[in-house]
Each structure stands twice: as structure tokens, then as C-alpha cells.
Amino acid sequence: MRSKVTVVGAGNVGATTAQRIFDKGYADVVLVDIVEGLPQGKALDMLEAGPVTGTDATVVGTNGYDETENSDIVVVTSGIARKPGMSRDDLLLTNMKIVSSVVKEVAAMSPNCVLLPVTNPLDAMAQKSHEVSGFPKNRVVGMAGILDTARFRTFLAQELNVSVNSVEAYVLGGHGDTMVPIVGSTTVGGTPVAKLIAKDRLEEIVQRTRDGGAEIVNYLKTGSAYYAPSAAIARMVESILLDRKEILPCTTLLEGEYGINNLFVGVPVKLGAGGVEEVIEFDLNDDELAALRKSA
């Protein structure tokens, strides 16, 4: 029997996430949205790709929550997206109400699921999801660090004209202007990045990483990123459902780790069948640790 994943929100991020999961074939997908016809139409379109991709999983669209019952994972992408000039925090009040309503519904239908909040501002939405659901901390894990890290690795690979697979890096902290790319432990082919890129240029790349979401928003004008975010979500879903136990930067509730208490912050975690199975404490230098605590 296949696993079941619900994606709430059939906008660009949600629909692309649903497609990525469906295409892999390891889970049946339920796509939920309040707009009548939107999730149904997108789900049917995806389903009809099955014979081409060789996928036998199912995907259904719905405007309610009955069909989400007993989901293994629920991804929450609902909310308004950023527009040029807006920060992630500008979305706070509107999206807080939306996410609270959604989490209440899905937690009732799937009391044993792992919740993956994605809506911005992510750290606050993860905190609210934990509060509203009443779930243990290991079953509420936000998507941010994988995306921010992917952007950092992309920019470094472009700068050095190497494969992204040769760049080992992590971005920790909040999903916003205070995120913390851990430059001290970043390597390219095993060589510390500080030996390959001048300090001033490295600082520019770090800043571009922090502005990565806004850069795309400014290009698009009417929306925000969704290809890379959906890829990051799908990576998390896969690690949980297939019990891969990958070490990935995700937003989780800290209780003393890194000297931070009772806050959702992006840190490396072991992600497996139990959700967040372990928080990994990197050996950060004093500046990095101070920046992480400030980011929280």
C-alpha cells in the first residue's frame, strides 16, 4: 500500500510539489484548495501524465478535507505570496489566520501525520502549526533551509564554474534577512571556500543568498519562486516516507540546542520516518553561533 501525502494549496508551490511527488510514484497525493475546480483540474492534468511517466500512483483534487483522512504527510502551502517590495514578514497576519484554519482541519483528519509548513513567514508559521495541531515537535518540520542552502550552493557553483554537487554547504537560522550561511564549513571539492573566493566576493554571494527569494519576486512581478521550493519540499517528503534519515537543514523546535529555547529555527536535522529524529549540532565558530542566535 502506497503512502498518502496531502498538499494544501493548489497555487504554484503546492501544485508543483504535488506533481513532483506524484511523478516519483511512491505516494498517492491529495491536492486541496478553496477555489472550486482548481485542485480538481490540476490533479486530473497530473493524473493523465501517469501513462507517459509510468506512474501508477493516484492524485485527486478537492475543496474539502474528507479525502485527506489518514495522510502520512501534510504539506501546507496555503497563503498569499510575496509581491515586489514586500518582506516575508509583511505576510504575517493574513497567512497566520489561513494556516491556523488549515492546520486545525488537517490535524483532525490525520492526527498521526507529519506536518510540513511552507507558508511564509515560515518560522512563525511552523510555531503556529505546532501550537494549533498539538503535535509533538518531531512531527512539525518547516521547509526553508534546504531552499536557502540550494541557492547558496548554486551561486557558489556558478562563481567557481563547478558542479553544484561539488559544493558542500549549509544555511541555518531563520528564513529571512538574518539567515546564516555557514561559510566556515563550506567546501568545494573538499577545499574550504574561503581559499577559493575572496572575502569581499564571498560576502556578496552570501547577501545574494539572503536576497534570493526577493530577486525572483522582482523578476516575476506577480508571484514568487516555486520550482526550487517545491523541489526542496519533495526532498523532505522523500526522506520521511522512505526513512532515508538524511541530514538536511530544516526548521524545527529547539529546546536548548545551540543555546536556543522554545523557538522554531533552521538547523541540520536527521529526517526519517519519525519526522525530525535528531537535531544535529554543528561545531560553529563564535560569530556563526552569535548570528544563529540573533536570527532566532
- Reply yes or no on whether 175 is catalytic: yes
| Residue of 175, 210, 235, 270 marked active site | 175
> Residue 6 carries which side chain, given as an amino acid letter?
T
290 phi, psi to nearest 5 deg = -65, -40
Measured CA to CA, the distance from residue 150 to residue 227 in angstroms comes to: 12
Q: Is 282 exposed, middle or buried (0-12, 13-18, 19+ CB in 10 A)?
A: middle
All cell numbers assigned to 128 = 503556529
Cα of 192 vs its chain's centroid, Å: 27
User: Which H or E run includes 115?
Assistant: strand 114-117
Which residues 6+ apart lie within 8 Å of 172 measured at CB? 145, 179, 180, 182, 249, 265, 266, 267, 268, 282, 292, 295
Written as one letter, the residue type at 269 is V
Q: 289-295 — which CB contacts under 8 Å span 24+ positions?
A: 289/258, 289/259, 291/173, 291/178, 291/180, 292/172, 292/173, 292/180, 292/258, 292/260, 292/265, 292/267, 293/258, 293/259, 293/260, 294/178, 295/172, 295/173, 295/174, 295/176, 295/178, 295/179, 295/180, 295/265
Alpha-carbon distance of 87 to 178, in angstroms, equals 12
> Which residues belong to the active site?
175
